[in-house]
A and B are shown apart, each in its own frame.
Chain A
Amino acid sequence: DGGITQSPKYLFRKEGQNVTLSCEQNLNHDAMYWYRQDPGQGLRLIYYSQIVNDFQKGDIAEGYSVSREKKESFPLTVTSAQKNPTAFYLCASCMGRFQGATTGELFFGEGSRLTVL
């Protein structure tokens, strides 16, 4: 089945540690996104990528890093510089503008919940 797979579903981190959240999609989408979700704040964009080997900072990129070496994969690293990393992280993908996107539908993974101990 086509979709987006995020792992792990739950992750615990000690202060000062970097952690990497995995996001894999088999939808042949060019565009991929990382969002952070906190109660009452909706979805805030961390990073997005329109094509392989290219990515852009979103509204809250500080303390995070990404890579886009393969079309299918867009891992997010939460670094020790992120002051308050406890949150629910969502990865999403859609057809990109280089694919002549017409529907605009954004597909989400099931999320990863990160807790800092």
Chain B
Amino acid sequence: QQQVKQSPQSLIVQKGGISIINCAYENTAFDYFPWYQQFPGKGPALLIAIRPDVSEKKEGRFTISFNKSAKQFSLHIMDSQPGDSATYFCAASITGNQFYFGTGTSLTVIP
């Protein structure tokens, strides 16, 4: 059973556009929701994370929107750049325990 469901599987966006990736979860005990960015042949790196006591977190061009009642969270990339082309994973965990990852979204930003 997939604990975290992620969509879309792939996304193509024009440079300067907004990229939006969505995730949904079931376990209400999750208390940490990170997004990871992965470039080909590299390990994932933490991009931004949120806890369920806030509805939005912004870091530069990256924003997480969190809807606790709907059990959904999303990543918004504003002013998308070709350098943002990568695979993005959402995840959920109970702090200090194992992580559950979405299946990933391959983002391509066209110049």
A interface residues with partner B (beta carbon < 8 Å): 4, 6, 31, 33, 35, 40-43, 45, 48, 58, 90, 92, 94-111, 113
Contacts and interface: CB of A to CB of B under 8 A. Distances in A.
B69 interface: no
Interface of B: 6, 9, 31-32, 34, 36, 41-46, 49, 89, 91, 93, 95-99, 101-104
A33 B98 contact: yes
18 contacts: A31-B96, A40-B9, A40-B103, A41-B103, A42-B103, A42-B104, A43-B89, A90-B43, A97-B95, A99-B96, A102-B95, A104-B49, A105-B46, A106-B91, A108-B45, A110-B42, A111-B41, A111-B43
Nearest to B46: A105
Interface-central residue, A42, A92, A109, by most chain B CB under 10 Å? A42
Given A42-B102, A42-B103, A108 B43 contact: yes
